[in-house]
Structure 1
Amino acid sequence: MNNYTCAQCGTVGLAEGFIEDAGEHSRGYARWIEGAMERGIFGGAKRIGRTRRQIVAYRCPECGRLELFARDEG
């Protein structure tokens, strides 16, 4: 357990998790990519050369609020 406090209800000790991405061709987890989204020639998001970070989610065991953070990928 950790000492993170829920911004909604004040409960201390949030549960760590992650946001799953089960879409087509996904890697199984979501990432945050820096900058406004731009579409490439085939309609997908341009990602090359952009900073990427893994999204980590903390859930409050009392009210269910999610807090999301973008960590550096190792």
Structure 2
Amino acid sequence: MNSYTCTHCGTVGLTEGFIEDAGEHSRGYARWIEGALERGIFGGAKRLGRPRRQIAAYRCPKCGHLELFATGEV
């Protein structure tokens, strides 16, 4: 149990989990990328040279609200 507090209902002790990315060519987990979304010539997101961070996800056991945090660089 951790001491994170739900910003929606105030419950203390959120359940840790992760956000899955099951899309084409995915690595199985989502990442947060700094900056506004820009599309490349083939429609994909431009990512080259941008910092990427893993997403830590926590769910409130009472109301189900998700809290997401961008952690260390990937």
- TM-score, normalising length: structure 2: 0.94
Write the distance in 2 (CA, Å) between the matches of 1:41 and 1:8.
40
Paired residue type of 2:46: K
- Where does residue 34 of structure 2 map in the other structure? 34
Query: What is the deviation of 1:52?
Result: 0.4
Write the distance in 2 (CA, Å) between the matches of 1:6 and 1:60.
6
Matches within 5 A, 1:43-54: 43-54=43-54
Q: Does 1:66 align with 2:52?
A: no
Write the distance in 2 (CA, Å) between the matches of 1:20 and 1:14.
18
**8 Å CA contact 2:37, 2:45 repeated in 1:** yes
Percent identity of the aligned residues?
A: 82
5+ residue gaps in structure 1? none
CA deviation digits over 1:7-53, x for unaligned, max 9? Answer: 11111100111100001110000001000111112111110100100
Matches within 5 A, 1:1-40: 1-40=1-40
The number of equivalent residue pairs is: 74
5+ residue gaps in structure 2? none
Write the distance in 2 (CA, Å) between the matches of 1:10 and 1:44.
38
- TM-score, normalising length: structure 1: 0.94
RMSD of the TM alignment (CA)? 1.0
